[in-house]
Structures are given as C-alpha cells and as structure tokens.
C-alpha cells in the first residue's frame, strides 16, 4: 500500500464531523515534526487550527486544507460504514476521501518526498489546516489569516481545495495558482447547486 493511501485511510477512520477534528491535526503534526516543522495551534471556539511551518526564508509555499467532513446523513444509504475506508471496484470509499482528506494525504506525502530529495531547499513550506470549513466556517481560515499575515512576508503561494477561499487575498504579495480540473464538484458552500460527485 502506498504511503498516501495508508495516510488517507488513517484520516478517514477519524470521525471528524465539523467542527470536530478527531485527532487529525495531531496525527499530521507528529508526522511532520521529524522533518523540522513547527506546530503552532491557533484555536478559536470549538474550532481547531494548525499552522505547520518549516523554515523562515522566502518564498513561503503554503498548502491549505480542512480536516472536517460533513455529517454522514442516512447510514442505510451507505454501502459500507462511512468511517471505515473501503476499496470497491478500484475506488476508495469513506467520508472525506475526496473532500478533502485525499488532498491532505496527497500533499503531505508529496512534501515528505520533496524534503527527502531536497533537504536544503530554498524558501519555507507551511501547511494551514482547519476543522471548520464544512460548517459555519467562521473560526477557521479567516481567523488564522488575520493572525499570521503579520508574520509572513514575501511571495506566498496557496493551494486551494476548491475555486474560492477569497479571504486569502488579504495577504500582500499572494500568488494564486488556479488549476482547472474537469470534474463534478460538490461542497456545502455551493448549496443546492452542488451535485454528489459519486
């Protein structure tokens, strides 16, 4: 099993229904600690946020993600338990597999491989994670950005899970890379216009 798939399965097993993080941030921070990442927690109310950073030099490259998932809904409609990762017909099923624990597992293992090959890389790498994206989204990214924007300078690249977290445009010097993917998307912020990706 690949490191990415193994990490994704571990994340799916954690019942992180918004705004509960269910230990996802601790798992990820512990994994990054041996690579030199400093773990700063910026929690607000019932929301857990982590700012994980390696290095202090410019430029700063930031990955953005959320560990929370939407409620599972009617359990009888699931073909397998929502928090038990299940591979069926070559696809992985489980709450959060696509949005966005799969993305987190992918960028986490990519960062690990990058640092293994480039231990003295130029610039800094950070990972910003919140447990409040699928719900009210009032104590997550927006609050964290307000706190950290005074600490960071230079070119900041942020990878976004969907097409819009406009609050991040507050950071001076931001470079937004948009990658278009032909896929059906669905998120709570889209409302009734969203379609189930499955």
Catalytically active residues are 68, 133
Contact by Cβ (8 Å): 11, 104: yes
Whole-Å CA distances, 146 to 19, 117, 133, 141: 20, 33, 16, 9
Compute the distance between CA of residue 90 and CA of residue 180 in angstroms, rounded to an integer.
24
- DSSP annotation string for 130-181: ES-SSS--SSSHHHHHHHHTTT--S-EEEE-SSS--GGGGGSTTEEE-----
């Amino acid at each position: 099993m690949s490191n990415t798939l193994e990490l994704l399965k571990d994340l799916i097993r954690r019942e992180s229904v918004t705004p509960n993080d269910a230990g996802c941030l601790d798992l990820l921070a512990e994994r990054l600690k041996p690579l030199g990442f400093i773990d700063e927690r910026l929690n607000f109310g019932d929301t857990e946020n982590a700012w994980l950073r390696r290095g202090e030099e410019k430029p700063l490259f930031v990955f953005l993600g959320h560990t929370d998932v939407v409620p599972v809904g009617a359990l009888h409609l699931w073909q397998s338990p929502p928090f038990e990762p299940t591979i069926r017909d070559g696809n992985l099923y489980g709450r959060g597999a696509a949005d966005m624990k799969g993305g987190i597992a992918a960028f986490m293992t990519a960062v690990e491989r990058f640092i293994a090959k480039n231990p003295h890389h130029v610039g800094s790498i950070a990972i910003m994670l919140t447990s409040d994206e699928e719900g009210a989204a009032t104590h997550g990214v927006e609050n964290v950005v307000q706190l950290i924007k005074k600490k960071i300078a230079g070119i900041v690249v942020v990878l976004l899970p969907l097409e819009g977290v406009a609050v991040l445009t507050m950071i001076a010097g931001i470079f937004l890379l948009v990658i278009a993917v032909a896929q059906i998307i669905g998120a709570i912020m889209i409302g009734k216009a969203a379609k189930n990706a499955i």
